[in-house]
Amino acid sequence: MTTFSTISPIFDVDTIRQAFPILGRMVKDKPLVYLDNAATSQKPLGVINAIHDYYTGYNANIHRGIHSLAEEATAAYEVTRHAVKQFIGAAAAEEIIFTRGTTEGINLVAYTWGRQNINAGDEIIISGMEHHSNIVPWQILCEEKNAVLKVIPVTEDGELSLMAYQNLLTDKTKLVSIVQVSNALGTVNPVKEMIAAAHHVGALVLVDGAQSAVHLDIDVQDLDCDFFAFSGHKVYGPTGVGVLYGKKKILENMPVFQGGGEMIKEVTFEHTTYNELPYKYEAGTPNIADTIALKSALDFINTIGKTKIRKHEAGLLAYATEQLETIPGLAIIGKAREKASLVSFVIKGTHPQDIGILLDNQGIAVRTGHHCCQPLMKRFEIPGTVRASFALYNTFEEVDKLITGLHKTIKMLS
Ligand code: 7TS
């Protein structure tokens, strides 16, 4: 089988792989082939060391202490906020709120802005390819407020029907909440255009950037989105830390989310006044170590550069797609014109889970199932897919291993 790695090296993948110790391990006596990056990416040494350095060097609670350790920890935590601001092109650091991840970011907006602004008869638009994290919070809100949840249909190719979207937008639309890159199909949605259309009817827009932040250049000011949520663990950072961006004016006028330490200005038994942005939304001791380490993940991406990363990943996707299409009975789910680096497929006469188990026996990690997109699976009338998702450290040889592994698997299942 042809391998492209020696033909078009975009960057030195071997050197990059050395930064990820886990990639050297064996699974079932085979070298690990990790193709489940859309679920969570592996972590470079810089991230692992940052967590170690914090706990061994300056572990302290932040924003409260006047001792040296507390000052060092606070400074490092706030440095990450500035790094995130740069990473997504926000206008100000106060617009960056640390959360546990994308799910918490979306829920924060639903429980605060949503409860304040959504009333009976109002409409919220999502799309047919949303992750459950961008469906359920709005469903809960709509049930509570007697509001209406509308869904942009997905075409057979796995794109959003923009004509249908235009028709759904009315003066009743108060919010559009859409995914930028689908975790199940890989589709890159034209969110900038969709945001402009939503603003035209006076609606706000939340962009679910869980899958896009690691692959695409993000500029929230250029997109003009009102909210943008992503997770640290999908951008080579730690689990348990994420980001919610919101436009300052909107965040300032929103009610508070959780009550407790750090989010207050003054508390009496009669009345509490709240802290300024972004602390107003960061109640309690946050995930200090992992937030600090998130900066190392962003540095890692920036050092290589998203343009190079995207080129490499696009090469992997094109090669994988081409090779998968040669497998008899295999159908790719999601053939959008613009896709990020993942491919979902089904194979006639097999169940995705069986394929996943047999690939794992060969050291190959893929995701199988509905990918937390049950309505999307229903749309395609399938129980789930096998999903191979690529990161900057994946190689063309690993794609070859996937293809060989699939051939073996199909033989075993037939
Ligand atoms: N939105 C999208 C588009 C996602 O892909 C995910 C996680 C989430 C939201 C939720 O992110 P979290 O970090 O808060 O959990 N997606 C996946 C996946 O595809 N496989 O495992 C998790």
Tell me how many degrees the CA angle 185-233-244 measures, rounded to the nearest 5. Answer: 85
pLDDT at 36: 98
Q: With 80 as the cut, is the pLDDT of residue 211 above it?
A: yes
pLDDT at 9: 59
Kindly state the average pLDDT of the residues 115-122: 98
Q: With 50 as the cut, is the pLDDT of residue 409 above it?
A: yes
Q: Spell out the domains of the chain, with CATH numbers in brackets.
A: 4-41+305-413 (3.90.1150.10), 49-302 (3.40.640.10)
Give nearest CA residue, ligand 1 atom 20.
39
Number of Cβ atoms within 10 Å of the Cβ of 270 = 5
Q: With 90 as the cut, is the pLDDT of residue 380 above it?
A: yes
Q: Global pTM?
A: 0.97
Q: With 90 as the cut, is the pLDDT of residue 257 above it?
A: yes
pLDDT at 6: 39
Q: How confident is the model at residue 5 (pLDDT cuts 50, 70, 90)?
A: very low
Kindly state the average pLDDT of the residues 77-91: 98
Q: With 90 as the cut, is the pLDDT of residue 198 above it?
A: yes
Cα–Cα dist 193/77, whole Å: 34
Q: To 10 degrees, what angle do helices 352-360 and 396-413 make?
A: 120
Kindly state the average pLDDT of the residues 17-22: 97
pLDDT at 7: 42
Give nearest CA residue, ligand 1 atom 18.
39
CB 323, CB 403: distance < 8 Å = yes
Kindly state the average pLDDT of the residues 262-271: 94
Residue range 343-373, pLDDT digits in tens? 999 999 999 999 999 999 999 999 999 999 9
Residue range 128-146, pLDDT digits in tens? 999 999 999 999 999 999 9
Residue 38 backbone dihedrals phi, psi, to 5 degrees: -70, -25
Cα–Cα dist 382/377, whole Å: 5
Q: Among 41, 134, 211, 376, name the best residue to mutate to test ligand 1's pocket (greatest count of ligand atoms within 8 A of Cβ).
A: 211
Question: Mean pLDDT across the chain, nearest whole number?
Answer: 96
Kindly state the average pLDDT of the residues 242-259: 97
Kindly state the average pLDDT of the residues 22-35: 98
Q: How confident is the model at residue 64 (pLDDT cuts 50, 70, 90)?
A: confident
Kindly state the average pLDDT of the residues 252-265: 94
Q: With 80 as the cut, is the pLDDT of residue 4 above it?
A: no
CA of 68 from ligand 1 middle (Å) equals 37
Q: β-strands 123-127, 148-152: how paired?
A: parallel
- Ligand 1 residue neighbourhood (C-beta within 6 Å): 38-39, 101-103, 131, 133-134, 179, 183, 208, 210-211, 231, 367, 371-372
Q: Which of 395, 386, 346, 339 is nearest to 367 (CA)?
A: 386
Would residue 373 show up in a list of annotated catalytic residues for this protein?
A: no
| Proportion of the chain above pLDDT 90, given as a percent | 96
Give nearest CA residue, ligand 1 atom 22.
39
